[in-house]
Amino acid sequence: MSELVIIGSERSEAGIPAAMEILRRGGSAQDAVERGLQLCEDNLADHYIGTGGLPNARGIVELDASMMVGSTRAFGAVAAVKNFPNPISIARAVMEKLPQHALLVGEGAEAFADFLGFERAELLTPEARELWLQQLKTVPQESIEGENTKATTGDERYRLASLELVKRMAPHEGPWGTINIIALDKNGELVCGVSTSGYPYKHPGRVGDSAVPGAGNYADIRYGSAACTGRGELALRSGAARTVVENMRAGMEPEDACYAALQEARALPDDFRAELRCLALTPDGRHGGAAGMEGSTYTLMTEHSTQPEFRPRKALL
Ligand code: GLY
Query: Measured from the CA of 233, which atom of ligand 1 is nearest?
Result: 4
Q: What is the percentage of the chain residues whose pLDDT exceeds 90?
A: 78
Q: What pLDDT is stored for residue 132 in this prediction? A: 80
> pLDDT (tens digit, 9 = 90+) per residue, 49-98?
999 999 998 889 999 999 999 999 999 999 999 999 999 999 999 999 99
Closest by alpha carbon to 79, among 113, 109, 122? 109
Confidence band (pLDDT; 50, 70, 90) for 263?
very high
Which residues lie closer than 8 Å to 3 by C-beta, 6 or more apart? 184, 285, 302, 303
User: Which protein residues are within 6 Å of ligand 1, measured from CB?
Assistant: 177-178, 196, 198-199, 208-210, 216, 229-230, 232
Which residue CA neighbors atom 4 of ligand 1 most closely?
A: 232
Closest by alpha carbon to 235, among 196, 278, 180? 278
Query: Measured from the CA of 216, which atom of ligand 1 is nearest?
Result: 1
Cα(213) to centroid(ligand 1), Å? 13
Question: What is the rounded distance in angstroms from the CA atom of residue 301 to the CA atom of residue 317?
Answer: 28
User: What residues are annotated to the active site?
Assistant: 178
Cα(46) to centroid(ligand 1), Å? 15
Least confident of 6-10, 116-120, 172-176, 289-293: 172-176
With 50 as the cut, is the pLDDT of residue 118 above it?
Answer: yes
- Walk me through the domains of the chain, giving residue ranges and CATH numbers: 5-122+173-315 (3.60.20.30)
Confidence band (pLDDT; 50, 70, 90) for 201?
confident
Question: What is the rounded distance in angstroms from the CA atom of residue 121 to the CA atom of residue 99?
Answer: 26
Which residues lie closer than 8 Å to 277 by C-beta, 6 or more apart? 9, 177, 228, 229, 230, 262, 289, 290, 291, 292, 296, 313
Q: What pLDDT is stored for residue 258 in this prediction? A: 98
> pLDDT (tens digit, 9 = 90+) per residue, 162-194?
666 655 554 444 456 899 999 999 999 999 999
Query: Measured from the CA of 228, which atom of ligand 1 is nearest?
Result: 1
Cα(242) to centroid(ligand 1), Å? 16
Give the Cβ contact number of residue 108 at 10 Å: 14
- Asked if residue 180 lies in contact with residue 228, where contact means CB atoms within 8 angstroms, the answer is yes
